[in-house]
Structure 1
Amino acid sequence: MLDANWPDSWRNAFRIELRAEAIGLAWRGWPVLPGATPEQITAEGDDLTWRRPVPVHDDWRERVGSHAHEVASWFSDRTHSLLVATGTVLDAVEVDQELGKRAARLLRSIGHPAPIVAMPNGRWLFLTRPSEHLPAELAEQISVQWHGKGSYIPLPPSPFQHGVVHWRVKPEVCGWQLPPAAEVQDVLVRALADEHAPMLVESTAA
């Protein structure tokens, strides 16, 4: 979160970093959008409903795919959260931290890393190529959320109320080549099964 006590030089540096990240992603073809920050929501008197960044523009769907020059203008005048629309260039599977750690270890063990984002609220995002569906094993989990067409996700270094979004695994590790959705989904299913295994053992023993 942007600290009101930060010197102006720090706040300006943070804004410049956000703008640079937004432009860089836009040049790579990622559908970047400006999002509200905690301070902007609080100023409107709706801070109790703030959970994560939301698009600044109501017509954000029509702005998906805007040129990098337009993206640069959005981030020039004020600090915004950095959002990316899902469903075209990329999708994301959102999970809790424990499942995220298990899946990340599995991805490392098989030598197929995927870009992973961690949010200050304890949620992790696994980025993939677009997908048509989510496996039933994941879809039936309340703690799992699929961000596909019509959704969006925050990317680093977007501010939250208690910290900033950061990379657990940067896209550079994958050479900016997003993994197939099925590959990451399969790993998440395996990680979920491992998570539930102790419960099954205890139930059998009883």
Structure 2
Amino acid sequence: MNNPTIGIDSVSWRDAFRIELRAEAIGLATRGWPVVPGTAPAGDGVSGPVPVHDDWQERAVADSGDVIEWWGGEVYSVLVATGSYVDAVEVDAELGHRAATLLRETGRPAPILAMPNGKWVFLTESGGELAGELATRPGVVRHGMGSWVPLPPTPFAHGVVHWRVKPEVWEWKLPRAGALHGVLARALATLPDNRDSEFHVHAA
């Protein structure tokens, strides 16, 4: 015999989570962040959410009325479209941890996301290109025009996206892309594999 409370609890959880996602999306939109709805995880093979609508780039406008409608009845992920207001740099955990340490030492932390797949994502103002050493490092991805990143509390198959450093820590100001890229480059230079490479080059 089926237990009716299981279905009720599932529906209640879904509604609560949808409301939380919608509240986050509305809060971001009111601050000018171009959020769009993304897919929810469908199984173990899902690597991450993608925009629900084909015309998501046209929909990426900061209008809380649209956001309320989009998140009105579905459990959509929260994505921010990059390239117009916010950009992002996605890195591996080793580089992310070192860069976060350097940022703390400056007293001017950037908003940082932690992904369930182990990636760290640093948010910046739009603009700028990655320096060569960063652009060629495996696993480093710059998200600019035509891309997006998931924001908390977006669900993955094995967890949710969460903040390591929340935007309000810096009063919702985004760091300049060039400055953040410089911190990432300095962090990269301190990693053991890069120090070893530099030693061998100088020794030769």
Identity among equivalent positions (%) equals 57
Q: Which residue of 1 aligns with 2:196?
A: 199
CA distance in 2, matches of 1:145, 1:76: 32
CA distance in 1, matches of 2:8, 2:198: 52
Secondary structure of the structure 1 residue equivalent to 2:104: helix
TM-score, normalised to structure 1, is 0.89
Query: Which residue identity does 2:81 align to in structure 1?
Result: A
Secondary structure of the structure 2 residue equivalent to 1:7: helix
Q: Which residue of 1 aligns with 2:37?
A: 34
Q: Which residue of 2 aligns with 1:172?
A: 168
- Please, which runs of 5 or more residues in structure 2 have no aligned partner? 1-6
Q: Which residue of 1 aligns with 2:25?
A: 22
Shift of 1:131: 1.2
Q: Of the two, which has the highest radius of gyration?
A: 2
Verify the 8 A CA contact 2:111 2:164 in the aligned structure 1: yes
Shift of 1:197: 4.3
Q: Is residue 63 of structure 2 the alignment partner of residue 60 of structure 1?
A: no
CA distance in 1, matches of 2:48, 2:10: 25
Gap change, CA 1:6 and 1:51, over 3 Å in 2? farther
Q: Which of 94, 101, 108 does residue 90 from structure 2 map onto?
A: 94
- Please, which runs of 5 or more residues in structure 1 have no aligned partner? none
Verify the 8 A CA contact 2:83 2:146 in the aligned structure 1: yes
Mapping for residues 99-138 of structure 1, pairs under 5 Å: 99-138=95-134
Q: Is residue 10 of structure 2 the alignment partner of residue 7 of structure 1?
A: yes
Q: Is residue 190 of structure 2 the alignment partner of residue 190 of structure 1?
A: no
Shift of 1:183: 1.0
CA distance in 1, matches of 2:108, 2:27: 24
Shift of 1:201: 7.4
Query: Which residue identity does 1:35 align to in structure 2?
Result: G
Query: Which residue identity does 1:98 align to in structure 2?
Result: E
Gap change, CA 1:63 and 1:147, over 3 Å in 2? same
Query: Which aligned runs of 4 or more in structure 1 are off by greater than 3 angstroms?
Result: 4-7, 200-205
TM-score, normalised to structure 2, is 0.89
Over residues 142-177 of structure 1, what are the superposed CA-to-partner deviations in whole Å (9 max), with x where a residue is unaligned? 210000111100000000000000000000001000
Shift of 1:6: 5.8
Over residues 77-122 of structure 1, what are the superposed CA-to-partner deviations in whole Å (9 max), with x where a residue is unaligned? 1100100000111100000111000000000011110000010000
CA distance in 2, matches of 1:166, 1:144: 19
Secondary structure of the structure 1 residue equivalent to 2:122: strand
Aligned length: 196
Secondary structure of the structure 1 residue equivalent to 2:123: strand
